[in-house]
Structure 1
Amino acid sequence: MDGRRISAAIFDLDGTLLNTEQVTKDLLKEFLVGYGKVVDMEKEDKRMGMIHHESAIAIVKDYDLSITPQQYSQSIMPMYHEKWLQAKPLPGVNRLMKHLQKHGIPFALASNSVKKNVLVKVSSQKGWEESFSVILGSDEVKSGKPSPDLFLEAASRMGVDASCCLVLEDSLVGIRAGKAAHMQVVAVPSIQTESDQFSIADYVIHSFLDFQPQIWGLPPFDDWVLNALPIDPIHFKGSYKNGFLEEISDINASDIPGQAWGVYFGWVDFDSHERFKIVVSIRWDCSCGFFTRNIQACFISGSNEQIRDQQIEVALVGYIRGFQTKQNPSTDAKILDDDKSIALACLDSAAYSYHRCSPA
């Protein structure tokens, strides 16, 4: 952005590459029930990105728990380990990693988690451990984020000048660490907010599907097909009413990544084995004072009468565009005739075929 050519990338892990925060979001709530305590989300949001040791001390103090931070960790960590194995890559992550590999751009992983926990998460993703030039945990440097130590050590091990590194982070703690290391920083916020706190980053995107390598002097993507982007399928169950989809989840956590934001298309399956084509617009709405997911839906095959009062299984397989949320999100998020035309052409193409709409 300021004339420095990027020659390496450094990723955060939790909430940036993997939806670990999404699959573990209710663990603290479940833990605190046993102590008669209720989660304070304002405090937990501010804790995002902290190293576990510091977080454990703060949680024991904030909730006045009758245990030590060490006892807290011993009790809750097995619960986290189980959930981490269920974590999935966030939209566009595998695409970007493969793109960097293809063009010989080294990339590192620098996490505020300790190294052994980082490896548990990474090893559950096929091919990831071998893809990173460097994998670092906070226990391998003097101080974790927001200190720049992790990022500076990653750059040193890659043999790259810090000023030529691009940091990709989801938390304010990580963004501050990247800026303290005098690196360029892209924020991919995992908290659905338009807060100006992320303005200290050099660039803010809602998901890696919106990442543009050429901005940083990197080779551009060349994988768009028929004016859309094939994606790793996003699965969820839902019900349709009055032009909108409501997600139905078997568990408390959503099956739709928090970073899913924009216009997508895909397939809908019914118990009757019928299959329809669909375009959806996914955004977050805060008009009621809190964030809720808003999924506008347009079926481009079949009829609304056939869909009403049925549970459906959705597999989104393509991405068309994002929108400028700071302007008029309700207008930007409308499904346009162009979106329908693009989706219809794509879903008749083999590049967007899908054989089974069923959550993994």
Structure 2
Amino acid sequence: MDKENKRLGMLQDKAAIGIVEDYDLPLTPQQYIESIMPMFHEKWLQAKPLPGVNRLIKHLHKHGIPFSVASNSARKNVEAKVSAQRGWKEYFSVILGSDDVKSGKPSPDLFLEAANRMGVEASSCLVIEDSLVGVKAGMAANMKVVAVPSIESELDKFSIADHVIHSFLDFQPQQWGLPPLGDWVNKALPIEPIHFKGSYTNGLVKEISDNVASDLPVQACGVYFGWVDFDSHERVKIVVSISWDGSHGSFRRIINACFINGSNEIVDHLMEVALVGYIRGFPTKQFSSIDAEILDQDKLIAEACIDLAEYSYLGCNIS
């Protein structure tokens, strides 16, 4: 993972050179790119937006605020990724790839070109980035930068950004002079369902799904509630806390849970979870066990919300 993490946000040609060298592949970098791209194209069709991204895009579009995507990927690949998401191509004012400018990130060229094509001053733009090279590019472009890190273990490196959040669900547009989001219901936020599979033992959910890495992204952090189906065909309501722990030498995801109805004595039953509501994020940059605790207040909010129409219909079909 250390080898791959350092390539996050890197230009494709440079990344290919590093991959061939790191793994001593019997290919040229160009042969590697030609071999791997069909696999990437297949995966892009299965990719899902990070929690809160669709919500933010629709909000900005509704208020007539121009926004663009500027990526170190090649332009044709950026367009393929954007086109795979419903409505995105029509929402973005500008779509740019690294081949549209002289230099990719961490150079500011991509962001400066995006601002130019949108017809706005760079200093009036806000960048939201998940990679360190992207954060550096935004700062170099004299733009405000919010970081939503894709690698929680390197959170400290993102402190150069103007603001760091763990999840798009924590983004508050009004902090940046944008119209506020007003979609919270009963102290919680209805969200597009987040699905994952696991087993439950003594309040801890153990991830077991082979594709859990894609189903439960790094930026799915905070306290949520939703529905869980067990292999016994029982369905119960659940409150879940998702955080990261690096205190034991390795960075790992911690998922704590408790049931609103049903027994907390269930042990090692396979379960399929659909999270439909978001209660809160974590206030500190580095997670602590206190941050990740499920509070009595969290349970009360979940119990008051989950049967409301805004939440309950989302949990009716877990599969």
1:259 corresponds to: 219
2:206 corresponds to: 246
Deviation at 1:288, TM superposition (A): 1.5
2:192 to 207, 219, 232: 232
- Percent same amino acid at aligned positions? 73
For the Cα contact (< 8 Å) 2:243–2:287, is it kept in 1?
no
For the Cα contact (< 8 Å) 2:155–2:285, is it kept in 1?
no
Q: Residues of 1 paired with 2:169 and 2:288: CA distance? A: 18
Residue 344, structure 1, aligned to residue 303, structure 2: yes
1:75 corresponds to: 35
2:290 corresponds to: 331
What is the identity, as a one-letter code, of the residue corresponding to 1:357? Answer: I
Q: Residues of 2 paired with 1:107 and 1:161: CA distance? A: 13
Q: Against the structure 1 CA distance between its residues 196 and 308, is the aligned structure 2 distance closer, same or farther, given a 3 Å change threshold?
A: closer
Q: Against the structure 1 CA distance between its residues 291 and 74, is the aligned structure 2 distance closer, same or farther, given a 3 Å change threshold?
A: same
1:163 to 96, 111, 123: 123
Deviation at 1:232, TM superposition (A): 0.6
Deviation at 1:197, TM superposition (A): 1.3
Secondary structure in structure 2 of the residue aligned to 1:281: strand
Whose RCO is larger (CA < 8 A, sep 6+)? 1
Secondary structure in structure 1 of the residue aligned to 2:299: helix
Residue 100, structure 1, aligned to residue 60, structure 2: yes
1:11 corresponds to: none
TM-score (structure 1 length as normaliser): 0.85
Q: Residues of 1 paired with 2:73 and 2:153: CA distance? A: 24
2:72 to 100, 106, 112: 112
Secondary structure in structure 2 of the residue aligned to 1:282: strand
What is the identity, as a one-letter code, of the residue corresponding to 1:114? Answer: A
1:357 corresponds to: 318
What is the identity, as a one-letter code, of the residue corresponding to 2:221? Answer: W
Matches within 5 A, 1:41-52: 41-52=1-12
For the Cα contact (< 8 Å) 1:194–1:326, is it kept in 2?
no
TM-score (structure 2 length as normaliser): 0.96
Could you list the per-position Cα deviations for residues 179-198 of structure 1 after superposition, in whole angstroms to 9, with x for gaps in the alignment? 11110000000101254211
Residue 172, structure 1, aligned to residue 137, structure 2: no
What is the identity, as a one-letter code, of the residue corresponding to 2:99? Answer: D
Secondary structure in structure 2 of the residue aligned to 1:343: helix
Q: Residues of 2 paired with 1:81 and 1:328: CA distance? A: 35
1:22 corresponds to: none
Deviation at 1:312, TM superposition (A): 1.2
Structure 2's unaligned 5+ residue stretches are none
Q: Residues of 2 paired with 1:243 and 1:45: CA distance? A: 31
What is the identity, as a one-letter code, of the residue corresponding to 2:18? Answer: A
What is the identity, as a one-letter code, of the residue corresponding to 2:227? Answer: W
Secondary structure in structure 2 of the residue aligned to 1:345: helix
Q: Residues of 1 paired with 2:206 and 2:147: CA distance? A: 28
